[in-house]
Amino acid sequence: MYVSNLRSPTLRMRLAIARRFSACFCTDFAATIDEAPVSAHRSLGAFPRRRRVLTLKTYLLTWSPPRYNWQRLPYLAHLSAQGWPVPHDWPCQNTKRIREGDRFFLLRKSPKPIGIMGSGFILSSIPYPARRDSSRGSARQRGTALFVDVNFDVLLDPDSDSILLQSRLGRGRLALIHWRQARSGIQIPEDAARELDAQWQRHLARIRWPGLRSEPYLPAGVSPTPKVLMSKSLRKHPSR
C-alpha cells in the first residue's frame, strides 16, 4: 500500500506541505514522497527510511586438545572432505558481537601441530550460554563461556591432514596477530582476514583437499551414519 492510496487527513496534509516546498525548491521531492512506502512515513514523517548496510566480520575460534577431547573430529573431518556440511557449536569466550553470517577460522593450539585447521560461517543470530556438549553427547556444561552455532565448510583432522601451520602465518598483516596467545572469539582485522582466506585456499589446493571437488555421495540405500563413514576412513588410515 502506498501513500497516494490512503485517505488519512494527516498524511494528506503532509503531502500538501511537501508539494508546496517542492514547487519552490525541488521538483522531484513530491514524487519521492508519493513513491515511499507507508512504513517510511510512519517512522520518519515524510522522509523515506535509510537502508542499513551490514558488514560481515571474521573471527578466530580456537581448539586446545588438552582442554577438550574432540572425539568426533575424525568423523566430522571425513564428512567435510566428502562435501557434507558440518554444523557444530563452539565457545567464543565472552565475545557478544558475533552475528549470523560472519566468517570464522578454527585455530588448533598446543600441543603441536599449531595452525589453522578449519573455516566456515556463523549460524547463530547472537551468542548464547553453554548448552549440552554435542561432541561427547553428555549433559555436562562446558564452563561459563558463550557459544555460537557454526557450520564448517572445511574441517581438517590434524592427525591425518596437513593443516596450515603457524610458521606460515607470520608474514604480512597476519604477523600482527599473536597466534600462540590468541583466545577464542577475537576479531581478525579485515585486511588480515582477506590475506588469511587467500592463504587458506592456496593451502587446500596444495594438499589437494578432497572437499574442493567432492560432492556428498553414498550408494543407494546407505545412510551417512558414523559407523559407515568411519569404516571407510579407517580403511584409508589403518594406523589410526
| pLDDT digit string, tens, across residues 14-50 | 545 444 544 443 434 334 434 444 444 444 444 455 5
User: What average pLDDT does range 62-69 have in this prediction?
Assistant: 93
**What pLDDT does 13 receive?**
52
Cα 93 from Cα 42, distance rounded (Å): 41
pLDDT tens for 94-130 read 999 999 999 999 999 988 899 999 999 999 999 999 7
**What pLDDT does 105 receive?**
98
Q: How many CB atoms lie within 10 A of CB 187?
A: 15
Backbone angles phi, psi at 3, to 5 degrees: -60, -35
Alpha-carbon radius of gyration of the chain: 26
The more confidently predicted of residues 44 and 90 is: 90
pTM value is 0.66
Residues 6+ apart with CB under 8 A from 151: 85, 86, 87, 88, 120, 121, 123
Residue (of 162, 184, 188) closest to 175 by Cα position: 188
Cβ burial, residue 1 (10 Å; 0-12/13-18/19+): exposed
**What pLDDT does 100 receive?**
93
